[in-house]
Each structure stands twice: as C-alpha cells, then as structure tokens.
C-alpha cells in the first residue's frame, strides 16, 4: 500500500483560484494521455505517486479521456481505491463533460441532460461521491447558456461537485456565463484553456483579460505545446514520441523546418537562463501571475520532476520576453 512522502508540502507553491478560497498547486497533473487502457497500469500509479509525493495535489480528468472513452477515469478510480483513498481530502480531483461521449443526441455538447448524466457516470467510474471541480468542456452554440450554466449549478447544489469550471470558452462567453452563475450563487472559480508560447488564443479571444477582470482562475493545458517546447524534438522526431505514435493531436507537419529552428533558438535562450526549455516554457505561462496553475502531462516520472523545477525558475527580463516574442510570433 502506498504511503505518501511526509515532506510533500515543503516546496510546492499553492495559489488561490481567482478570489475563491480554493488553492491549486502551481503544477497540476493532467490525465489526458497515458491513463487509458493502452497504457501500463503500474506506470500510471508511479506517475500519480511521484506527483503527490512532490506536492501535486490536483489531478485533472474528463469523461472521454482514454482510449477508450472513460478509461482514464476508471483507471484513476482504481488507483484511488487501491492506493490513494486515504488521502482523498488532500486531493483536488476534476472532470469535464462537453465532447462526444456516447451515441445519440444526448451524449455531446452542453444540454442539461448530457452534463448531469455524464457527471453521474464519471463518479461511478471514479468511485467517488463528488469531484472537486466539474467543468463544461467546450462552448455549445446550440444550447442556451442559461441551461448549461444551470446544469453546472445543479451539479454543485446536489453535492456531486464542489466548484464549477469552464473549459475552452472565449472571454465574451465566459463573462456572460459568469453573470448567470453569479446570480445563481454558484461557485464558478476557474477556466481551463490551452496556452503556450506558440498558442496565445486566450490573449486573442479575451479570455485571459476577462478572467483577470472577473477574478477567476485559469489553469492551462498543453503549456509545452504537447512536447514541442521541450528538448525532445531538437534532433528530429524520436520513434517513441507522441508525433510518431499518435498523430491525432500532434501532427508531423506541426514540426516544419521553421518551427524547429524556432525551438532550437528558444532552447538556447533557456540555456542562457540556466534552465531547460520546458522549464522556461512553463515559467512563461506563469510569468504575470494571471494563470493559477499549469497542467502537465507525463509518460514517465522523470518528466514530472523536470517540470517541477519551474518553481525555482528565475523571472524574465524585458529583453528575454521580447526575444521570445520575436522568435514565436
């Protein structure tokens, strides 16, 4: 039976999500990849143990993480039951619904029927009475925002979730959702969106500005551009890399000669700062204090340990930030 490291809270930094009372670790673990039924169960356990032993209390899932759909929740639920159950009150567990999950008109997007049914299914797979955060996973142009926000409110008021979150929303829609949830007195506290040196959509669509103005947190997924902002591809595409094994989310044409040259230049800048490219990329996401936490993915524990070094990463100079922009924009 797993026994957690007694010094696990000594170094991690925890930040309030917006103006809420909930604190998130600066680094959180996402279970988007490497927790489906095609991955080794012992490695899943090792990833979770390494994370928690170093103060990563937050584990982020979604109903369709796998493969197959639901398998990441099922596997994490097994780890909770067999190993981590004694630490439930020290853990922050989140899940989402909004993407395709089951056949027919009620297994996708943002209807009340889909969201509440999906949450029940997620809790069953996880073996939990509640999740700490329940997100709507993407905007739905065909369902009234009031209905979707009402479902999140019902999830919280039923005791099946403690907080509500939004994922992949733009700034304008998030502001409208905030007003609805405020009137419902629902504790909406956090936005989850992709953000990295190469992907600045949350700046372009107003989400980052709006979250700061509304005093809501932001947790960022793909802060390393699914591995591009690491030293993994400096010498080409490794046979065991995500591009080689699974081209659905990271395609070979995303690493053309221009992008590779940029990555190499960024790597040199990181070296001059005395850190790895991944460490610098994570620090860039956290640079101005608006982002609450970065969600990292990992296929091995050493990657978690390397990413945790961002806690000690030095602040950027204006010249360094300007150089990053020159290289990546």
pLDDT digit string, tens, across residues 176-198: 999 999 999 999 999 999 999 99
Whether this prediction's pTM lies above 0.85 is answered by yes
In a domain, 249, yes or no: no
Say which residue, 117 or 239, is predicted with more confidence: 117
Sequence-distant contacts of 238-246: CB under 8 A, at least 24 apart? 242/33
In a domain, 74, yes or no: yes
Give the range of the structural domain holding residue 72, as residue numbers without chain letter: 14-234+279-315
CA 288 to chain centre: 18
- CATH classification at residue 195: 3.20.20.100
In a domain, 71, yes or no: yes
Q: Is the Cβ–Cβ distance between 14 and 26 less than 8 Å?
A: yes
In a domain, 174, yes or no: yes
Q: Which two tokens stand for residue 73?
A: 């929740």
Q: Which two tokens stand for residue 33?
A: 């990849």
* Residue 249: band (very low, low, confident or very high) from pLDDT cuts 50, 70, 90: low
Q: Which two tokens stand for residue 15?
A: 């930040």
* Residue 8: band (very low, low, confident or very high) from pLDDT cuts 50, 70, 90: very high
In a domain, 271, yes or no: no
pLDDT digit string, tens, across residues 300-328: 999 999 999 999 999 999 999 999 999 99
Q: How far is CA 201 from CA 117, 152, 196, 251, in A?
A: 31, 25, 9, 19
d(CA 64, CA 54): 27
* Residue 246: band (very low, low, confident or very high) from pLDDT cuts 50, 70, 90: low
Q: Is the Cβ–Cβ distance between 130 and 159 less than 8 Å?
A: yes
Give the pLDDT mean for 276-294: 98
* Residue 38: band (very low, low, confident or very high) from pLDDT cuts 50, 70, 90: very high
In this structure, what is the dihedral angle of CA atoms 138, 158, 121, 219, given to the nearest 10 degrees? 40
In this structure, what is the dihedral angle of CA atoms 248, 250, 253, 259, given to the nearest 10 degrees? 170
Q: What is the pLDDT of residue 123?
A: 99
pLDDT digit string, tens, across residues 124-167: 999 999 999 999 999 999 999 999 999 999 999 999 999 999 99
The tally of domains found in the chain comes to 1
d(CA 166, CA 18): 13
* Residue 235: band (very low, low, confident or very high) from pLDDT cuts 50, 70, 90: confident
Partnered with residue 192 across adjacent β-strands are 167, 219
* Residue 241: band (very low, low, confident or very high) from pLDDT cuts 50, 70, 90: low
Q: What is the pLDDT of residue 239?
A: 61
d(CA 176, CA 297): 31
Q: Taking 90 as the threshold, does the pLDDT of residue 237 lie above it?
A: no
pLDDT over 70, % of the chain: 95
Q: Which residues contact 318 (CB under 8 A, 6 or more apart)?
A: none
Q: What is the pLDDT of residue 248?
A: 61
In a domain, 325, yes or no: no
């Amino acid at each position: 039976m797993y026994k957690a490291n007694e010094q696990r809270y000594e170094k991690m930094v925890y930040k309030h999500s917006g103006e809420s009372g909930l604190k998130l670790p600066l680094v959180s673990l996402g279970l988007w990849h490497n927790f489906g039924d095609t991955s080794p169960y012992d490695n899943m356990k090792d990833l979770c143990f390494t994370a928690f032993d170093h103060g990563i209390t937050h584990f982020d899932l979604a109903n369709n993480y796998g493969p197959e759909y639901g398998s990441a929740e099922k596997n994490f639920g097994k780890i909770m039951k067999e190993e981590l159950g004694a630490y439930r009150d020290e853990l922050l567990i989140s899940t989402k619904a909004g993407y395709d999950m089951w056949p027919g008109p009620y297994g996708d997007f943002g209807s009340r029927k889909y969201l509440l049914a999906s949450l029940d299914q997620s809790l069953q797979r996880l073996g939990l009475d509640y999740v700490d955060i329940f997100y709507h996973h993407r905007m739905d142009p065909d369902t009234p925002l009031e209905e979707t926000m009402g479902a999140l409110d019902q999830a919280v008021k039923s005791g099946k979730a403690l907080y509500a979150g939004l994922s992949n929303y733009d700034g304008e829609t998030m502001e409208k959702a905030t007003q609805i949830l405020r009137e419902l007195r629902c504790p909406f506290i956090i936005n989850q969106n992709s953000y990295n040196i190469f992907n600045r959509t949350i700046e372009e669509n107003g989400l980052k500005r709006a979250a700061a103005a509304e005093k809501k947190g932001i947790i960022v997924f793909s802060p390393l551009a699914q591995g591009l902002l690491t030293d993994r591809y400096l010498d080409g595409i490794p046979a065991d890399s995500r591009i080689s094994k699974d081209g659905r989310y990271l395609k070979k044409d995303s690493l053309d000669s221009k992008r590779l040259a940029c990555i190499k230049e960024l790597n040199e800048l990181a070296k001059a700062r005395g850190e790895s490219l991944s460490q610098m990329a994570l620090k860039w996401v956290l640079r101005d204090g608006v982002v609450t936490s970065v969600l990292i993915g990992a296929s091995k524990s050493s990657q978690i340990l390397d990413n945790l070094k961002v806690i000690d990463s030095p602040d950027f100079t204006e010249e360094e930030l300007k150089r990053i922009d020159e290289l990546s924009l």
